[in-house]
Amino acid sequence: MGTCALFIDYENVLKSLRGQNIHVPHKVLAEVFKHEAQRYGEVVFARAYAPWDLFPEAMALFDRQDIKPEYVEGGRKDNADLVMSLDIQEFLRIPGRDAETFILVTGDGDFVHVIRLLQQEQKRVVLWGVEGSISARLVGRVAEVETVQAMLRRHGHLPGAEPSGEFGPAGEGPGLPPGREMAVRALILRAEAVMLARGWVQVPFLTLMQEMSVSTLFGEDSEQRRMLIVRCLEAGLLDTKKQPNPKRPGTDTTFILLRKDHPAVRTTLQCTARVVLHMRRLLEAAPPGAGVPWDDLLRSLAGDDRLGRMAEAERQNWVELCIAEKLLRQDRQGDRPVLYLDEEHPLVQQVVPGEDLTPMLRRLVLAVDHYLQRTGYQWMSMGLLRQQLLPCGRREMERAIRMAAEEGIIRIEQIPNRFGSRPTTGVYLEESHPFCQEVVERRDEVLAALSRLFGDRDMVPVPEVEEGLVAAGAVETPEAAAEWLGLLADHQILTARSGWPYGAECPVYVLQRQHPVLVKRLRERTG
């Protein structure tokens, strides 16, 4: 009888199985993996890699089979790959530790280099993976390939695969367990609302669980709610991130992030916003205090460019979702049910018809860039950024910060704080982003034009400055000139005043020639 070592990319296996609507208990998988491994000889080493904090009960089940659970951060594809690869290499280096057969339970093509390394060491490599999810890069490189489904069938555990239901219209999104589409959509909205209300870009796992506990839509108990989050993670709708817990040194906090690039997440947020937008328009046309009848809202949605392509039942589902998540509230006027918007709901506040956040985003980029240039730091604290943007309006500020983070204009990270227990939220400017480059280049053109326009003069009348910027081609319109001059005045590169020598009624601008941003940018432009 030979010996074998077992390495299980458990997150990969679970995601692949559940992506095909195959739901097998952790206990069954642990027992099957151990039993099947023993066919190759004595199991001298066994590890399973996963974000175990998402299903902690599974850890004990694998432990009972002498398969040691190894924690890896969930959501990122390369985490288990890296940890497993390092463990395999370490196994080969330790004197006295050996196995004739190495069993890799994964379908990830990134393990090609590990297989090559094992074969160079004259080891037999066996691959187990979920049928339909095994990379073609692995097949043909190993001595044996076995599917997890085949093993489960041999042990009589494989349930009949349920038909894959589509999530969202037009087949957008992965297959999910039947009957859970409404709960998943509600979870997306709940996570987004919590982050909007608190100014976060991620939400602690336990906070999200607590927010979900107020509604049975997410499940009857904490286990059902947790499994809903796990399935959304497996489907790629959510992501996880670990950060040190400043209140409990040596421990980590698990954060949940919403994958805005996922079609199902994007569809949920967009369709919900469309419902809110139609409600706003109908309420504006209604008498003061009057609600919107159900039928009127459904007729309005039927004429929408996107929602109008759906079946009426699907449009009604979106309205019911907005009611369940309290974006809309129901009431009665006479014998008719009517709907109202909850203007205090964060998702309702996000929908502002015709709003253009470009000026606010431009202001945000300049605030961060000027701070970094003045201080030489690599990041700006979120508190200081909010302080600079707050005079423009709290809601506008929050929407701009969130849009900048989602569009990749800024990157937000938690920075250890040596002066306190709580970390500092740091804002990094992604200078290579096209919008950042456009704003900085336009700012530099305006500064260069101002330098030429002022020449040796200490002050210049405001109308002359505005006209001069347009004439120099630094901006296209007088309105754009006024906006840029206002931005530079906010950053004290320009100072507005009235007086000599143009008269008390003539406003003038004074150029602060020693301002560090002006000095640095002009020096760079002149070489």
Domains, the chain: 3-154 (3.40.50.1010), 164-353 (1.10.10.10), 358-431 (1.10.10), 436-525 (1.10.10.10)
Instruction: Give residue-wise pLDDT tens across range 457-492.
Output: 888 888 899 999 999 999 999 999 999 999 999 999
Q: What confidence score (pLDDT) does residue 354 get?
A: 62
Question: Is it the case that residue 115 has pLDDT exceeding 50?
Answer: yes
Q: How confident is the model at residue 501 (pLDDT cuts 50, 70, 90)?
A: low
Q: How confident is the model at residue 76 (pLDDT cuts 50, 70, 90)?
A: low
Question: Is it the case that residue 80 has pLDDT exceeding 80?
Answer: no
**Residue 255 near residue 202 (C-beta atoms within 8 A):** yes
Distances (CA, A) of 380 to 200, 394, 440: 16, 19, 17
Question: Is it the case that residue 180 has pLDDT exceeding 80?
Answer: no
Q: How confident is the model at residue 161 (pLDDT cuts 50, 70, 90)?
A: very low
Tokens (6 digits) for 306: 């996107």
Q: What confidence score (pLDDT) does residue 36 get?
A: 92
Q: What confidence score (pLDDT) does residue 419 get?
A: 65
Q: Could you tell me which residues come within 8 angstroms of residue 77 by beta carbon, excluding any fewer than 6 positions away?
A: 108
Q: How confident is the model at residue 37 (pLDDT cuts 50, 70, 90)?
A: very high
Question: Is it the case that residue 372 has pLDDT exceeding 50?
Answer: yes
Q: How far apart are CA 367 and CA 440, in angstroms?
A: 11
**Residue 257 near residue 238 (C-beta atoms within 8 A):** yes
Q: What confidence score (pLDDT) does residue 74 get?
A: 61
Query: Smallest Cα–Cα separation from 232: which of 208, 198, 197?
Result: 208
Instruction: Give residue-wise pLDDT tens across range 122-151.
Output: 999 999 999 888 887 787 788 788 899 889
Q: How confident is the model at residue 175 (pLDDT cuts 50, 70, 90)?
A: very low
Question: Is it the case that residue 95 has pLDDT exceeding 90?
Answer: no
Do the strands 238-244 and 144-147 form a parallel or antiparallel pair, or are they unpaired? unpaired
Q: Could you tell me which residues come within 8 angstroms of residue 363 by beta carbon, excluding any fewer than 6 positions away?
A: 389, 392, 400, 487, 490
Q: How far apart are CA 77 and CA 234, in angstroms?
A: 11
Mean pLDDT value across residues 1-13: 90
Mean pLDDT value across residues 277-284: 92
The most confident of the ranges 94-103, 234-243, 305-314, 408-417 is 94-103
**Residue 83 near residue 12 (C-beta atoms within 8 A):** no
Mean pLDDT of the chain: 85
Q: What confidence score (pLDDT) does residue 420 get?
A: 58
Q: What confidence score (pLDDT) does residue 396 get?
A: 83
Instruction: Give residue-wise pLDDT tens across range 246-278.
Output: 666 667 788 898 888 788 888 899 899 999 999
Count the residues in the chain.
Answer: 527
Instruction: Give residue-wise pLDDT tens across range 390-448.
Output: 998 887 888 888 788 877 899 888 777 766 556 788 899 999 999 999 999 999 999 99
Question: Is it the case that residue 358 has pLDDT exceeding 50?
Answer: yes
Cis peptide bond N-terminal to 174, omega within 30: no
Distances (CA, A) of 458 to 169, 480, 484, 486, 509: 62, 23, 19, 18, 9
Q: What confidence score (pLDDT) does residue 75 get?
A: 54
Question: Is it the case that residue 13 has pLDDT exceeding 70?
Answer: yes
Amino acid of residue 10 = Y
Q: Could you tell me which residues come within 8 angstroms of residue 297 by beta carbon, excluding any fewer than 6 positions away?
A: 275, 278, 279, 282, 319, 339
